Amino acid sequence: MKRAIKFHRRSTALHCWHTFLSLPRQAPVSWHRARLREELVERRAAVTSISQLSETADVVFTISRARFYGHHFQSHMLIVVPAGGLLYMVAKFSLRWAFYRIVAYACGARGRKLKDVREVFNPRKTGKVDEVAGRHGLDPRICRIWAKRVKAFWPLLP
């Protein structure tokens, strides 16, 4: 009984959070399965405690996002992961989401164009800032400049 209540609370909280992020829908279940396989490989390869926590957060994020879109994925990870792990995941992806919104705003995105920027890619990975800029009609060169500036004041961006 306690396990069911715990799962329901976590699922409800994660559903609200995914609604807030409002990420672009990835409809095919195959897309979610491929992401999960990638994340599980990275999780198994993680050596340090912080990298294991980060990769576990990625796995749980992938599962919770798939469930948010109505796909029936394994849900035991939502129960097994300690609350601290879930908090880390929420912070990690919320900060990335905010990072791209700040950069888009600095690049001149306003109104609908700014609201449409809903990304959680790792901005430290080469090319992701350019990819996001291209997807949202922003100048990649200016976005790189602003991303570098924002990262300088945002050193803990996971």
Q: Tell me how far the alpha carbon of residue 29 is from its chain's centroid.
A: 18
Asked whether residue 79 carries a pLDDT value surpassing 90, the answer given is no
* 81 vs 21, residue with greater confidence: 21
CA distances to 19, 25, 54, 56 from 49, in Å: 30, 31, 9, 10
Residue 156, pLDDT > 70, answer: no
Number of H helices, E strands in the chain: 8, 0
What is the end-to-end Cα distance of the chain in Å, rounded? Answer: 35
Contact 123, 147 (CB under 8 A): yes
Length of the chain: 158
**Token pair recorded at residue 100:** 């791209």
* Average pLDDT for 100-110: 97
pLDDT at 101 over 80: yes
What does the pLDDT average to over 18-30?
A: 92
With bands split at pLDDT 50, 70 and 90, how would you rate the model's confidence at 1? low
pTM for this one?
0.91
Structure confidence by residue, pLDDT tens digits, 25-53: 987 899 999 999 999 999 999 999 999 99
What is the domain partition of the chain in residue ranges? 1-81, 94-158
Amino acid at 114: L
The DSSP secondary-structure symbol of 59 reads H
How does pLDDT run across 46-72, given as a tens digit for each residue? 999 999 999 999 999 999 999 999 988
Cα–Cα distance for residue pair 9/15, rounded to 1 Å: 10
Instruction: Assign 157 a pLDDT band (cuts: 50, 70, 90).
Output: low
Q: Do residues 60 and 85 make contact, with C-beta atoms less than 8 angstroms apart?
A: yes
pLDDT at 141 over 90: yes
